[in-house]
């Protein structure tokens, strides 16, 4: 338990610093790389919670695919080398308010849903089979709703990209 | 207080008898020893592979190849390594220093980590403890392999960007587009293996295939996933005929143009390390890993499985060299066509057929027939659409050709 708490502390501090650097750094590629650190930190926390499947999927999807595409897009379109001065804008207070609001909502939802529930002391590693079964049987409707949402985003991206 | 950690540990590492009796000092030492041996083995195999490639290619081209350092030139790679080590280490003025230094390690580490989940042999006994010849056997084994192969893009991408020059940047954009494109086909053919095995564990995948040679996934899945995996893996490794990343005849040098000395050596090492790792992964997924061709007759665990594993590994290493000596390089549009329009639809189709086959033979054949029919229809539709656009373009077909 002690070791887990310690490691969680280290990961949390690293994630916090990296998250702040994402918005303060003057180099857009560095910002993306700090985001990689944050997302990898999330995966590390999943491993601490004995959710290996979720952790590896986090790496595979966010670090391995989404951020690679971010970087790819940056390099294909602008590829700034060195500092870029126009990265900042004057909406930082608004951004702070929105992120605090989001934090409040998420924290509220989590606290409401789990309240005082503690993880069982002998929490076993979740088998990937169980994860699959619960996604495709118990939570199949939310899953399908989210896939339609992704489809909408996909179509939207094509529409925006192809104006011909 | 420690009950939770132990419970988690024993479930996470289930399977390897080493962790059956809890974790103590000796177990930690054995794991460290295994890590060291695995790393050293990979390094030695890289040394061997570089020499082997140069020797076989020169044989195929009627040349002699390296023959000065050591017997048959076997020490040539070592000599080259030492030479690179003593060369001047250049750091371009425009480079992003930290990332420029970091990038070579980002390509080496995934290659080694992926190697860690490959089962190399049976159970052996070290100092009275039984353990498997496999560094790690995480319950998400195959996904871990996929994750490592997608993380490997970072090294190439950041090396090109951080060099602070446009030519390496172009090279790295080219490389990362290629690696990202072929990952889907790679993942889909891995999914076929997971589908018939019913487990993500690499050890389960190997033991499922260990009964006899007909149980090897190569035959059980009907060759197609293996073929797709081989092509996609070659593209993922940027090896010929997919070596557009460092096409000597077209580019200055690709993403590592600005790298010299030890850092260049690290990229070189990473490339050959991933070749060996990918071959090992293919042996694991499709050729039954360390199991021999006949039924398992209970040989002592240490020697024979490792021998079979290495023998199969050699086949793939030879195939890679052979491909390099034989095939001309693809054009960039051919590369993208092959990845997106051929391999991905084909592997999706075969995955559906396999899934239906598992449910019932009849479903399988039905899906197979329907798939072929739909595929032909789609092909015809594409043809009609293309000829329509060609007619619309009308007067300027030559421009299309040139574009």
- Here the CATH number for the domain that contains residue A52 is 1.20.120.1200
Q: Which of B3, B7, B143 sits opposite A57 (nearest CB)?
A: B143
User: Which of A163 and B352 is assigned the larger pLDDT?
Assistant: B352
pLDDT tens by residue, B195-216: 888 888 888 888 888 877 888 8
Task: Average the pLDDT over each of A60-74, A107-121, B46-60, B68-82 and give the range with the smallest value.
Answer: A107-121
- Long-range pairs for B283-286: beta carbons < 8 A, 24 or more residues apart: B283/B118, B283/B309, B283/B312, B283/B313, B283/B316, B284/B118, B284/B119, B284/B202, B284/B205, B284/B206, B285/B190, B285/B193, B285/B205, B285/B217, B285/B229, B286/B193, B286/B216, B286/B217, B286/B218, B286/B221, B286/B225, B286/B226, B286/B229
pLDDT at position B344, please? 93
pLDDT tens by residue, B265-310: 999 899 999 999 999 999 999 998 888 776 555 555 567 888 888 9
Do B234 and B135 reside in the same domain of the chain? yes
Do B387 and B289 reside in the same domain of the chain? no
pLDDT at position B212, please? 78
End-to-end CA distance of chain B: 69
* Residue A61 covered by a domain: yes
Averaged pLDDT for residues A103-110: 94
How many domains does the structure of chain A reveal?
A: 2
Q: How confident is the model at residue B11 (pLDDT cuts 50, 70, 90)?
A: very low
Do A80 and A131 reside in the same domain of the chain? no
Range of B323's domain?
Answer: 4-359
Which residues make beta-bridge pairs with B131? B124
pLDDT at position B298, please? 52
Nearest to A51 by CA among B139, B6, B14: B139
Mean pLDDT: which of A130-134, B123-127, B195-199, B348-352 is highest? B348-352
* Chain-chain contact of A76 with B173 (C-beta, under 8 angstroms): yes
Do B296 and B377 reside in the same domain of the chain? no
Interface test with A, best of B110, B154, B183 (most A CBs within 10 A): B154
The residue from A55, A84, A113 where one domain ends is A84
pLDDT tens by residue, B152-193: 889 988 998 888 888 888 888 888 888 888 998 999 999 999
Chain A residues whose CB is inside 8 A of the B201 CB are: none
pLDDT at position B166, please? 82
pLDDT at position B390, please? 80
User: Per-residue pLDDT for B13 more than 50?
Assistant: no
Tell me the shortest Cα–Cα distance from B389 to chain A, in angstroms: 14
User: Per-residue pLDDT for B82 more than 50?
Assistant: yes
Do B128 and B276 reside in the same domain of the chain? yes
Do B127 and B189 reside in the same domain of the chain? yes
User: Per-residue pLDDT for B230 more than 90?
Assistant: yes
Averaged pLDDT for residues A72-92: 72
Q: Is B347 exposed, middle or buried (0-12, 13-18, 19+ CB in 10 A)?
A: buried
B291 phi/psi in degrees, rounded to 5: -90, 145
* Chain-chain contact of B157 with A68 (C-beta, under 8 angstroms): yes
The residue from A84, A117, A137 where one domain ends is A84
Nearest to B101 by CA among B143, B155, B49: B155
pLDDT at position B289, please? 82
CA dist A22 and A70 (Å) reads 14
In Å, the largest CA–CA distance within chain A is: 60
Query: Which A residues, 104 through 143, put their C-beta within 8 Å of a C-beta on chain B?
Result: 121-125, 127-128
* Residue A114 covered by a domain: no
* Chain-chain contact of B96 with A4 (C-beta, under 8 angstroms): no
How many domains does the structure of chain B reveal?
A: 2
Q: How confident is the model at residue A125 (pLDDT cuts 50, 70, 90)?
A: low
End-to-end CA distance of chain A: 59
Q: Sort strands B129-132 and B123-126 into parallel, antiparallel or unpaired.
A: antiparallel
pLDDT at position B3, please? 34
User: Per-residue pLDDT for A37 more than 90?
Assistant: yes
Nearest to B45 by CA among B320, B317, B324: B317
In Å, the largest CA–CA distance within chain B is: 81
Averaged pLDDT for residues B235-249: 83
**Chain B: residue whose CA lies nearest to A128:** B140
pLDDT at position A1, please? 66
Tell me the shortest Cα–Cα distance from A101 to chain B, in angstroms: 33
Range of A161's domain?
Answer: 127-164
CA dist B64 and B54 (Å) reads 9
CA dist A64 and A71 (Å) reads 11
Averaged pLDDT for residues B74-91: 88
* Chain-chain contact of A50 with B12 (C-beta, under 8 angstroms): yes
Do A131 and A79 reside in the same domain of the chain? no
Q: What is the ipTM of this complex?
A: 0.83
**Chain A: residue whose CA lies nearest to B150:** A64
Do B322 and B402 reside in the same domain of the chain? no
User: Per-residue pLDDT for B139 more than 60?
Assistant: yes
pLDDT averaged over chain B?
A: 84
């Amino acid at each position: 338990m002690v070791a887990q708490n310690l490691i969680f502390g280290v990961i949390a501090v690293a994630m916090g610093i990296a998250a702040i650097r994402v918005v303060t750094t003057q180099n857009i590629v560095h910002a993306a790389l700090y985001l990689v650190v944050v997302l990898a930190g999330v995966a590390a926390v999943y491993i601490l919670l004995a959710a290996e499947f979720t952790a590896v999927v986090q790496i595979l999807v966010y670090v391995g695919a989404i951020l690679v595409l971010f970087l790819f897009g940056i390099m294909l379109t602008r590829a700034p080398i060195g500092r870029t001065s126009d990265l900042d804008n004057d909406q930082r207070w608004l951004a702070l308010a929105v992120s605090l609001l989001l934090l409040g909502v998420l924290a509220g939802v989590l606290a409401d849903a789990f309240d005082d529930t503690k993880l069982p002391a002998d929490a076993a590693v979740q088998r990937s089979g169980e994860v699959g079964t619960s996604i495709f049987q118990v939570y199949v409707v939310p899953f399908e709703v989210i896939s339609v949402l992704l489809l909408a985003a996909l179509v939207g991206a094509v529409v925006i990209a192809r104006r011909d | 207080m420690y009950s939770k950690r132990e419970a988690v540990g024993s479930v996470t590492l289930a399977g390897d008898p080493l962790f059956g009796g809890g974790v103590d000092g000796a177990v930690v030492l054995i794991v460290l020893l295994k890590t060291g041996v695995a790393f050293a083995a990979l390094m030695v195999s890289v040394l061997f592979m570089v020499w082997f490639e140069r020797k076989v290619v020169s044989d195929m081209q009627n040349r002699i190849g390296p023959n000065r350092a050591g017997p048959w030139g076997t020490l040539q790679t070592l000599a080259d390594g030492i030479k690179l080590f003593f060369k001047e280490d250049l750091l371009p003025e425009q480079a992003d220093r930290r990332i420029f230094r970091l990038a070579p390690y980002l390509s080496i580490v995934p290659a080694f980590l992926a190697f860690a989940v490959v089962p190399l042999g049976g159970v052996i006994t070290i100092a009275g403890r039984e353990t498997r010849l496999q560094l790690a056997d995480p319950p998400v084994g195959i996904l871990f392999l996929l994750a490592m192969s997608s993380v490997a893009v970072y090294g190439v991408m950041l090396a090109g960007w951080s060099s602070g020059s446009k030519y390496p940047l172009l090279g790295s954009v080219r490389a990362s587009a290629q690696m990202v494109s072929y990952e889907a086909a790679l993942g889909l053919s891995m999914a076929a293996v997971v589908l018939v095995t019913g487990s993500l564990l690499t050890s389960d995948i190997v033991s499922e295939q260990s009964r006899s040679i007909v149980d090897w996934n190569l035959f059980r899945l009907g060759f197609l996933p293996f073929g797709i995996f081989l092509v996609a893996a070659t593209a993922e490794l940027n090896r010929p005929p997919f070596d557009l990343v460092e096409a000597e005849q077209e580019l200055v040098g690709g993403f590592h143009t600005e790298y010299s000395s030890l850092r260049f050596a690290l990229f070189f090492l990473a490339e050959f390390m991933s070749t060996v790792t990918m071959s090992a992964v293919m042996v694991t997924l499709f050729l039954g890993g360390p199991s021999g061709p006949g039924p398992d007759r209970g040989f002592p665990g240490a020697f024979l499985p490792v021998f079979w594993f290495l023998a199969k590994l050699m086949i793939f290493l030879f195939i890679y060299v052979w491909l390099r000596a034989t095939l001309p390089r693809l054009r960039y549009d051919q590369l993208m066509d092959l990845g997106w329009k051929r391999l991905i639809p084909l592997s999706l189709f075969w995955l559906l057929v396999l899934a239906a086959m598992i449910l019932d033979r009849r479903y399988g054949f039905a899906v197979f027939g329907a798939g072929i029919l739909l595929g032909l229809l789609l092909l015809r539709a594409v043809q009609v659409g293309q000829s329509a656009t060609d007619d619309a373009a009308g007067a300027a077909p030559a421009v299309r050709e040139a574009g």
